[in-house]
Structure 1
C-alpha cells in the first residue's frame, strides 16, 4: 500500500532586500525615487516646519506684549492725569512761586517733628507738583514736606533726601483748581489760623481778579458756614490794613473779630490802625498783637443795634368803605381798606400822615 505525502502551502514572499531590482528606464530618464510612506517627512522638511511654527509663535507673543504695553501706557497716562502716579523728583528742581503759599514766612515750630518722622519712617504722603515744561516742577501741595527734605539734605548730606516722592498734576489745570487742592489739604490741619486762610483768599483774589468775598466762597466751599464767616472777617481786616499786618497767623480769633467790628462800623478807623502799626517798624509778632489790642481799646465802642421786636398790634376800625385793618409792628404800619389811596391828592395825603404822626407823638 502506497504512503500518502503531506503537502504544505508555503508563501515565498521575498524580503525587501531580496526583492528584484526595479526595471530601469531607458538611458536619459533617471529612475524615480520611491515615494516615502504616508505621515513621514524628511529631516529637512521637519526642521523647516518647526522653524516656521516657532517664528509664528514668537510673532504672536510679541504682538501680545505690544498690546499689553500699549494698554499699560494708556493706563499710565490716565492715572498720571488724575495725579495718581508718583515719581522721585529732585528737590532742587521744585519751585514754589506759582501759588502764593498760605504759610506765613518764618520758622515752622512743627518742622523738626516732621523731619524726625521722615528720618524714621519715610514720607508717607507725596507732594504734588506740576511740570513747568522746562525740566522743572511747580509745587502745588506739600510746602512743609519739601522744606523738610531740603533741610535734611543740607544737614545730613544724605542723598536719599535729594529726591522727593511727588504726584504729577496735569499741566494747564486752572489756577482755581490748584488753589482748591492746596486749601482742601490745609483745612484738615489743626494749626492753620484764620489769618493765614484770609491771606490766602486775598492772594487768590489778586491772582484771579475777583473780589475777596467771592474768593472766600470759592476756596472754602467745603468749610462750615460759620468758619467761612470768620475767614471773611479776617479777610476784610487784612484788606483794610493794606499790607501793614505782618503776622496775620498770630492774630487770635477773638481779636480778629473785634478788629472787623470796628472797621466794619467805621472804615475810616482803619487809617488809625495803619498809623499805629507804622509807628512800630521793628515789631515782632508779639509787639504787633500789642499794637492791635491797643487799637481796639482806643477805638470807639461799637454799639450793637437793638434787636427788633417781633410782636404785632392788630386794630380793626369800622369805616363807610368797610372794615379797616391795621397791623403795627417794629418799624412798620400796615393799613388795609377797600379804598384807592392812590387817587387822593398828594398834598392831602401828606397832611393826613403828618396829623397821624403828630397824634402819635402827642403834639
Structure 2
C-alpha cells in the first residue's frame, strides 16, 4: 500500500494580496465625468466669449455703442466748424442742462488710429463738448469725459455732411454759415469745386435755395472775419449785399472800414452800417436861378406926358424891372 504524502498548509505571505477592485476605480455617481464633456464645455465657453467680443467690437466701430472718451483726446479742429458763433444765452442754457441732467445726446467721433494725438476727431457735437469743457473747468472731477458714437466716414465729404445735417435738425444754419462751410469744405479738399460742394452738402435743398447759398459765398469771401454778426444777415439783405459786392470792387474795403470804426454793439447797428453803404447818396438840390431875359424880347417905351413914360412889351419882366431899378438908383447917385 502506497504512502500518502501529507501537504503543508498554504503560506499566506507567499504572494501579495490582490488590490481591492473598489479602491482601484472611482465610484460611479455624480462626480464621475467623461473627458469629452469638459472639452465641449470649454470650447463652448471660448466660442461665447469670442462671439461677445466680436459683437462689442462691431457695435463700437459701427457707431451702435456709446463710448466714453476723455475731453483731451478729442480734436476739435478735425473739421472746419459750420457755426460761426453761438449766442451766449443759448450756450449758457446748454451748460445748465448738462450740469443738471448730464449729457443726454452723444457726440459723433472718428477714430484717428493708434498713435494719433488727439486720438479722436470731432464730427458733430461741438457745442456739447464746449459745454462739458466749461463744466470741467468748474468741477474737474465730474465732467472729464464725453459720451460719443464712433463713425467711419468713407470720405471727408460725408463727415462734413453729417455735421451740417445735425445742426440743420437742431437749430438751423443761416445762409452765411451754409455758404461758409461750403467754401471751407472745398478749401479742405473734401470737394473738387463749389458746385459739387453745394450739391453734395445741400442735396435736399431746392435749386433756388442752393442758388441763394451760392450768392452768399460772395459775402463770405469778402467779409468773413470782418462782420461781427454775420449770422443775423437775412436773405434779402444778403442777396443785395452780394450783388453790390460783385458790381463794386471797392465796397468790400469800405464796409470793412465802416464796421471796424463803427464798432457796432449788436446786429441792428451793423446792418445799419451795411445799408448805409448800399444806399447811394441823394444828389443835392441845385438853387433855382432867375432866368435871364430873352435877348430878343422887345421893350417899347412911350412918353405919356412931361414927367411920365410907359414901358411895355415881352421884355418887361421881373428881371428887367430889377435891372432898371438898380440903374435908376445908381444914376441918382
Question: Structure 1 135/207 Cα, relative in aligned 2: closer, same or farther at 3 Å?
Answer: closer
The whole-number CA distance in structure 1 between the counterparts of 2:180 and 2:251 is 21
Say if 2:239 is the partner of 1:260.
no
TM-score by length of 1: 0.63
Tell me which residue corresponds to 1:141: 124
Tell me which residue corresponds to 1:330: none
Matches within 5 A, 1:1-363: 30=15, 42-46=22-26, 53=33, 56-105=36-85, 107-132=87-112, 133=114, 134=116, 136=118, 137-155=120-138, 157=139, 159-170=141-152, 173-208=154-189, 210-241=192-223, 244-263=226-245, 267-281=246-260, 283-284=263-264, 286=267, 287-298=269-280
TM-superposed deviation, 1:217: 1.2
**SS of equivalent residue, structure 2 residue 143:** helix
Spell out, residue by residue over 1:168-225, the C-alpha distance to the aligned partner (whole angstroms, 9 max, x if none). 223x742111101101111113342111111111111111163223211111113344
- Structure 2 unaligned segments of length 5 or more: list them: 1-8, 283-333
Contact 1:198 1:238 in 2 (8 A): yes
The whole-number CA distance in structure 1 between the counterparts of 2:223 and 2:252 is 7
Give the 4+ runs in structure 1 shifted more than 6 A: 24-29, 48-52
The whole-number CA distance in structure 1 between the counterparts of 2:39 and 2:184 is 59
**SS of equivalent residue, structure 2 residue 192:** coil
TM-superposed deviation, 1:56: 4.4
TM-superposed deviation, 1:238: 1.6
TM-superposed deviation, 1:246: 4.8
**SS of equivalent residue, structure 2 residue 89:** coil
**SS of equivalent residue, structure 2 residue 150:** strand
Matched residue count: 268
Higher RCO (CA 8 Å, separation ≥ 6 residues)? 2
Contact 2:226 2:259 in 1 (8 A): no
TM-superposed deviation, 1:245: 3.9
**SS of equivalent residue, structure 1 residue 160:** coil
**SS of equivalent residue, structure 1 residue 281:** helix
Question: Structure 1 135/290 Cα, relative in aligned 2: closer, same or farther at 3 Å?
Answer: same
TM-superposed deviation, 1:233: 2.2
Contact 1:277 1:291 in 2 (8 A): no
Contact 2:222 2:252 in 1 (8 A): no
Contact 1:25 1:31 in 2 (8 A): no
**SS of equivalent residue, structure 1 residue 125:** coil
The whole-number CA distance in structure 2 between the counterparts of 1:159 and 1:178 is 32
**SS of equivalent residue, structure 1 residue 200:** helix
The whole-number CA distance in structure 1 between the counterparts of 2:78 and 2:233 is 26
The whole-number CA distance in structure 2 between the counterparts of 1:160 and 1:66 is 38
- Structure 1 unaligned segments of length 5 or more: list them: 1-23, 301-363
**SS of equivalent residue, structure 2 residue 170:** coil
The whole-number CA distance in structure 2 between the counterparts of 1:63 and 1:90 is 37
TM-score by length of 2: 0.68
Question: Structure 1 66/261 Cα, relative in aligned 2: closer, same or farther at 3 Å?
Answer: same
**SS of equivalent residue, structure 1 residue 161:** coil
Contact 1:195 1:234 in 2 (8 A): yes
